[in-house]
Structure 1
């Protein structure tokens, strides 16, 4: 396995739970997609992306492919064992060893979950639309364990200093929780710089999840490691965040 392809989640997950984010290094894609692009509909050559996905599966010794979702900035949570590839959802949950949950991002916030017993894992794709709609809360609910027994890891997303949004974005968050005001710094004119990490932590805390790790990345600034739609536009690739239970070997 090439170590440059992966950053492992830094969290105290129980034995048997594995979690990581892929980087853009060590793959087969060329030009602006260089090189470990996993986004099948990003504009890259699809056969090359499939080869990158196969490389991922082999590296991680997964018996089957992760469940790749058709992400739509919503709140649906798929079953990583039962649902089919390209199921329309923005999160997935798994209780079965070997069934990996995965989300693709290029500035939106990936959030990985597990419970303290290591019996259930989940992954969520949380851009601002998903956050305000409640995708993190829906994902925790789908785990069907008490929220206080859940831990979360926040993966690479666009940093606040690069994420300028319109006033309507701030207004939607404040309409639900006035305490979100600290997540927004004034930008140009009526615009605001939004902190996805703050917003995610705030919503998870209010939902009863207090063991939260990760954060501190900026996909837009860290061009050597991550793809960024805001930086590269339509030509941006996608990196993946995955969590899974390791099967018990006989």
Structure 2
């Protein structure tokens, strides 16, 4: 099955998860369950894959696709547009799924403890550094009432970055714990989920769950831009069912 439900203790009224690359109709290098039009895949294949996803979710919810540009813009899912740049969406409506596409970047899921509001954000290192998680969290009345989950992304043993990226986070508390020096000059391994988790906790989120799935390490299951360059995208969804 192309869709995996998140293994976290979600409220009864909330569902969340992500697609894999298994099944689907896209040809290499987008094989097989690519859901993104912008990567160069045949639009007809993306149409079929998105229709298959909708069928797997039993034709509900409506999926709010975004035009992701590593921005910090958050939109209401009901007003999501594939023309205006945005990298997170939020909703209190049932039957509409907040959605971001990824292929190494970190999808961050948000939900309230009672399940009346949900959101998801696309957090690459640029969006993370510029405040996409803060902007998303500010859409909720009380950060202490929010729970977060971190989906599959490039893992801390695969995400090599330069000293410029490390310097970007230099003012973040304890950020030095998220970078490991390599044998290469001015190169470091960055722990993107740890950076996100530390920021969320500082912002008042007490509970943060992780998938700890590295997209680079599982080529059969997950798309990875860092690994493959030209590749497809997974969809990360969260929605209310009640």
TM-score by length of 1: 0.93
Q: Secondary structure at the match of 2:63?
A: coil
Deviation at 1:94, TM superposition (A): 1.0
Matched, 1:239 2:234: yes
Deviation at 1:63, TM superposition (A): 4.5
Q: Secondary structure at the match of 1:208?
A: coil
Residue 47 of structure 2: aligned partner: 50
Residue 193 of structure 2: aligned partner: 197
**Distance verdict in 2 for CA 1:60–1:92, change over 3 Å:** same
> Which of 207, 214, 218 matches 2:214?
218
**Distance verdict in 2 for CA 1:36–1:202, change over 3 Å:** same
Q: Secondary structure at the match of 1:71?
A: coil
Residue 181 of structure 1: aligned partner: 176
Q: Distance in 1 between matches of 2:44 and 2:16?
A: 26
Q: Which runs of 4+ in 1 moved over 6 A?
A: none
Deviation at 1:86, TM superposition (A): 4.0
Q: How does 1:92-131 map to 2 (within 5 A)?
A: 92-131=89-128
Aligned residues: 241
Q: Distance in 2 between matches of 1:245 and 1:85?
A: 22
> Which of 14, 19, 22 matches 1:17?
14
Which structure 1 segments of 5+ residues have no match? none
Higher helix proportion: 1
Q: Distance in 2 between matches of 1:112 and 1:206?
A: 17
Deviation at 1:64, TM superposition (A): 5.8
Residue 166 of structure 1: aligned partner: 162
Cα RMSD (Å) of the superposition?
1.3
Which structure 2 segments of 5+ residues have no match? none
Q: Distance in 1 between matches of 2:86 and 2:104?
A: 18
Q: Which moved more, 1:25-34 or 1:95-104?
A: 25-34
Contact 2:3 / 2:56 at 8 angstroms: preserved in 1? no
